[in-house]
Amino acid sequence: MTSFSIQTFGCRSNQAEAFLWANEFQKHGLKYEKDFSRSDLIVVNSCTLTGRADSDTRSFIRRVSRLNPKARLIVTGCYAQRAPEELKNMPQVSCLLSNTEKKDLDAKILSFAGPGKERQISPFRSRASVKIQDGCNFQCTFCIIPSVRGKSVSLEKKEILARIKEFISQGSREIVLTGIHLCSYGLDLNTKSSLLELLQEIESLKELRKLRLSSLDPRFLSPSLIEHITASGKVCPHFHLSLQSGSDDILHRMGRKIQIEDYTNILTLLREKSPRASLGADIIVGFPGETGEDFSQTYSFLEQSPLTYLHVFSYSPRPGTAAASWQQVNGKVKKERARLLRDLSSRKNTNFRRLFVGKECEAIVIKKEKARTEVLTSNYFKVFIPSCSQNEGKEVKVKITKVDTKKTTGQIVNSSSS
């Protein structure tokens, strides 16, 4: 039986695509293999958000080819879309598919593997990612994604609901909705819709246990959407926002068309409506023209905000974007600013998790080992507990017993009947 593995780089949309491909490949009789050294086919879903992402993809291709020289490597994704010639020149690559050619991946895999007997699907994990939208209609001056993903395109509701039902039937207890720009969902459909309307339909599925949202653009977080996601019994209290900076001048240079006052109002409302929620943000440091004063404003804003963690990126010039041609910030300065914000993130996250010591949280078992079990709470804490009888995908209630900078420890109170 032909085996396959998938390596995913970058965003949750790439992860959702990989999850879907894996299900389709198994339906066609292929066997999923975690060990790359034993795979016949290896699919690489690439990212090109930063120069580091490009480098990571190339490094993986070389490394996995040395590990398994007989495997066929199929490379797709945003890097393949942006710079196909760079990847075509790598002798290890058997096949290259752009983002627009991803629809042909199934056929290409089968052409390599040959027909197989249809198999019953076993889920990869207890949490399934479903991509509801692709592309972006905006042109932030730092971002290459619109040029490699195209305009916003939404999946029809009926197809989204069908995919969610399929994953639930395979045992997934949590569905993660992903997209390049989630808040644009439905605006391009013949029958106009919205993210709020989609959420209402998804939540009406009785079998659905938990729903998690990936990154949200604060420019499009309406009061009605905030009211819904914070009051819902199924949407996880975990909201990640693409803020990018805490300086009005830098936001203007980025083309974000929003101000810090707006961010403050949104974050305050989210915290008031959902006191237990984890609130995260993407932040770019060292954007062209970012002065020491701009960074100080960003640091001060983030320090005083109710955010509980930060994803910090050092600015990376991307070909074809407006900001790539502007005067760049010194690399050492960017590195130091990133370190300061990551230290701030660690302190804020540790302090937030400590608020839950002695408290109970809903969770899902996501990884089971001999010595310990790892669970993920609804508000996005990874909690380590002593090894227990609950299998992956089992819903449990955990009590947080200890928190330090590195990890959260707890114990199972009881398990759900589901």
**Alpha-carbon span 340 to 154, nearest angstrom:** 38
- Kindly report, residue by residue over 77-103, the tens digit of the pLDDT: 999 999 999 999 999 999 999 998 988
Banded pLDDT at 391 (limits 50, 70, 90): confident
Mean pLDDT of the chain: 92
Helix, strand or coil for residue 376? strand
Contacts of 154 (CB under 8 A, 6+ apart): 132, 133, 184, 185, 186, 187, 188, 189, 193
- Kindly report, residue by residue over 124-157, the tens digit of the pLDDT: 467 899 999 999 999 999 999 999 999 999 999 9
- For residue 238, which of 400, 411, 396, 381 has the smallest C-alpha distance? 381
Whether residue 149 contacts residue 136, with contact meaning beta carbons closer than 8 Å, is answered with yes
- Kindly report, residue by residue over 344-382, the tens digit of the pLDDT: 999 999 999 999 999 999 999 988 887 889 999 999 999
Residue 123 in this model has a pLDDT that exceeds 50: no
| Domain architecture of the chain: domains with CATH | 3-113 (3.40.50.12160), 125-236 (3.30.750.210), 259-355 (3.30.750.200), 360-415 (2.40.50.140)
Percent of the chain with pLDDT over 70: 95
**Alpha-carbon span 33 to 40, nearest angstrom:** 9
Please give the pLDDT value at position 335: 98
Residue 304 in this model has a pLDDT that exceeds 50: yes
Banded pLDDT at 170 (limits 50, 70, 90): confident
Please give the pLDDT value at position 369: 83
Whether residue 415 contacts residue 391, with contact meaning beta carbons closer than 8 Å, is answered with no
Banded pLDDT at 115 (limits 50, 70, 90): low
